[in-house]
Structure 1
């Protein structure tokens, strides 16, 4: 289970910036307090594909793995794509998180790619495997990108 560990400190600067961008993008795009979860694959602020998760959509583990695998193929990026789930609510485990984490683990494992999976809300991100998280009181764009 060594590959199941998830993110650990220190998070590399490029990844830390990408995760912050995912939170910022979500905070700017989604102003409603409650909204559908959306699965993203790619790189925040750059190339990505999305899949809205409707509560009436019947899925199982195999279908979720197939969706993630198709998203990985569609994003067609060099390197490892990130997988993040944007949703409302607190950064505590929810069924939707664990369901899509399992599908992503299956899909990226079959593709021979490492998995970076986080849950994102308007205030931060959390890795459901390692429980590592970062939150902000108020998310704002940075004027200095160094």
Structure 2
């Protein structure tokens, strides 16, 4: 019996030119606006540089999976426009290695997007670059500058 190869979720290198521009913009906006070394994470849903719904998160705040799903669903409803589904990105301090907060919000985004019948693109953004927590696709910049 043949088994179809499972298609890995998430972004895969090389990303499209439009995805690269959007993700670069998310990293650039984050790096240029957040100058503290340690700060609370933010969950963004929308289009980098365009319409974005943002939720401030508190480290150590105990939210269960159901509440996180409801919060992501509300952000999606706010950010939904004609065209491709809104992007989800989590900005936080630190490096791009996976953290518990990334995986908790990924699970919520998966559930909210599945319930809405939307394709999910989610990345974690730090001052150095972005990382897709599902596929591990990563892009880092040594010195990111506006064009």
- TM-score, structure 1 normalization: 0.93
Deviations 1:102-130 (A, max 9, x none): 00000001000011000000010000111
From 110, 115, 123, the equivalent of 2:115 is 110
Q: 2:84 matched to 1:101? A: no
Q: Tell me the matched-pair count.
A: 142
Hey, what does 2:59 align to over in structure 1?
A: 55
Larger Rg: 2
The runs of 5 or more residues in structure 2 that have no matched partner are none
1:5-24 superposed matches below 5 A:
5-24=9-28
Change (3 A) 1:3 1:111: farther
The runs of 5 or more residues in structure 1 that have no matched partner are none
Q: State the distance in 2 between where 1:59 and 1:6 align.
A: 25
1:24-43 superposed matches below 5 A:
24-43=28-47
Deviations 1:16-57 (A, max 9, x none): 100000000000110011100000000001100100111253
- TM-score, structure 2 normalization: 0.92
Compute the RMSD of aligned alpha carbons.
Answer: 1.4
